């Protein structure tokens, strides 16, 4: 697979590119060090007691600017990293923080295939070469009616997709999580038809809000939050934001997605956050921000309606939930 930087960038912006490259390499070195050999952090993690400072900071991240930053205090690190749905490590929300230290995120590569010019396996470093690292402070709304505000570190999904050079037939992008019951003990039970699968329509995937995160809170992504690389689609319910991605597949037809497969009447392919369309078993009108007893109203498209509503113009969002 080729990862060409457009010529204009090489000639006219050589300095900028080099600086970015240096920052990127610095960040990758930090990530590598963190993931490869940081036994202290991993042991603490095994006991479920990781503190924020156990995770290395990522240098050279471009700060978040409007419209990519929510005007709200980020969720507490402990809450965001110890309360996770990541069934690969167990179905309880505390399982991932306890079990995720088994996951080896270095080396890591992503298989890019389907409707692309040159399919192939791409090392994580090369995936990240698509754009300089930046921060995005997004709302995150779980379908279970709890929510967070998370400062993610990563790159726009659209940039990575552009580098994949999808063919004209590519109408959907599908993602898959790693399958390895040795590293992911939750996969020893078939609560899900592994691998975990998610997907987006091409126009959704290339929307500027779509993001691939490798870090959060300025630090390397903890394993339980989807290390080393995860999707973040802030206007959709959390289950769309697939973790620990090993495959990006381009297709002409709508791909299978895990929760839609499991319970089609409860979890749709689109899964846009929508306070007016209840989950069959609970209301989606309000949400519980993590960390307290406060409840707040849920916003259409999780507050990103201005940016994304046009993607769904003319669609019946009650039917396409």
Partner 1 sequence: MAPRRPARALERAALALAFAPALWLAGRFAFEGVGPDPIKTLTHATGDWAIRFLLLSLAVTPVRRFAGWRAVAPLRRTFGLAAFAWAAAHGLVWAVLDLGLEPAALLEDVTERPYVMAGMTALAILSVLAATSTRAALRRLGPRWKPLHRAVYVAAAAAVVHHFWLVKADTRPPLVQAALLATLLAARLVWRLRRSAVAPAPTA
Which residues contact partner 1 (rule: CB under 8 A)?
76, 78-79, 82-83, 87, 91-93, 144, 146, 191-192, 262, 278, 281-283, 285-286, 288, 290-293, 295
CB neighbours of 245 closer than 8 A, spacing ≥ 6? 110, 175, 176, 177, 212, 229, 230, 231
Shortest Å, Cβ 267 to partner 1: 10
Q: Whose Cβ is closer to partner 1: residue 126's or residue 144's?
A: 144
Q: What are 154's strand-pairing partners? A: 134, 213
Shortest Å, Cβ 202 to partner 1: 30
**Can you give the C-alpha Rg of the chain in angstroms?**
19
User: How far apart, in whole angstroms, are the C-alpha atoms of residue 288 and residue 283?
Assistant: 12
Shortest Å, Cβ 47 to partner 1: 15
Q: Whose Cβ is closer to partner 1: residue 228's or residue 238's?
A: 238
Shortest Å, Cβ 79 to partner 1: 4
Shortest Å, Cβ 148 to partner 1: 9
Q: Whose Cβ is closer to partner 1: residue 4's or residue 281's?
A: 281
Q: What are phi and psi of 219, to 5 degrees?
A: -125, 165
C-alpha separations of 119 from 105, 205, 261 in Å? 22, 18, 27
User: How far apart, in whole angstroms, are the C-alpha atoms of residue 197 and residue 201?
Assistant: 14
Q: Whose Cβ is closer to partner 1: residue 58's or residue 192's?
A: 192
Q: 10 Å Cβ neighbour count for 87?
A: 21
Shortest Å, Cβ 197 to partner 1: 15
Can you say whether the dihedral through the CA atoms of 8, 14, 20, 25 is positive or negative?
Answer: positive
Q: Whose Cβ is closer to partner 1: residue 18's or residue 92's?
A: 92
Q: Whose Cβ is closer to partner 1: residue 147's or residue 244's?
A: 147
Cβ 194 vs Cβ 176: under 8 Å: no
């Amino acid at each position: 697979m080729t990862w060409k930087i457009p010529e204009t960038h090489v000639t006219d912006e050589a300095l900028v590119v080099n600086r970015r490259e240096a920052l990127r390499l610095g960040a990758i070195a930090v990530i590598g060090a963190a993931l490869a050999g940081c036994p202290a952090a991993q042991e603490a993690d095994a006991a479920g007691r990781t503190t924020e400072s156990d995770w290395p900071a990522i240098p050279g991240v471009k700060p978040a600017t409007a419209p990519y930053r929510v005007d709200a205090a980020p969720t507490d690190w402990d809450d965001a990293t110890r309360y996770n749905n990541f069934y690969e490590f167990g179905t309880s929300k505390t399982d991932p923080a306890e079990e995720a230290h088994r996951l080896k995120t270095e080396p890591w590569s992503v298989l890019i295939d389907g409707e692309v010019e040159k399919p192939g396996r791409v090392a994580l470093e090369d995936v990240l070469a698509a754009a300089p690292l930046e921060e995005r402070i997004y709302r995150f709304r779980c379908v279970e009616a709890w929510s967070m505000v998370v400062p993610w570190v990563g790159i726009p999904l659209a940039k990575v997709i552009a580098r994949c050079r999808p063919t004209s037939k590519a109408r959907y992008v599908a993602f898959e999580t790693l399958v390895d019951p040795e590293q992911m003990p939750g996969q020893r039970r078939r609560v899900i038809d592994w691998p975990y699968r998610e997907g987006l329509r091409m126009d959704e995937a290339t929307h500027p809000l779509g993001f691939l995160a490798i870090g959060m809170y300025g630090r390397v992504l903890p394993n339980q939050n989807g290390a080393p690389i995860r999707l973040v689609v802030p206007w959709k319910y959390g289950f769309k934001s697939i973790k620990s991605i090993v495959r990006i597949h381009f297709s002409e037809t709508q791909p299978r997605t895990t929760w839609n497969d499991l319970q089609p009447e409860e979890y749709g392919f689109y899964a846009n956050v929508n306070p007016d369309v209840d989950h069959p078993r609970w209301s989606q009108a309000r949400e519980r921000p993590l960390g307290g007893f406060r409840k707040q109203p849920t916003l259409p498209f999780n507050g990103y309606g201005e940016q994304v509503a046009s993607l769904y113009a003319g669609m019946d969002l009650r039917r396409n939930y």
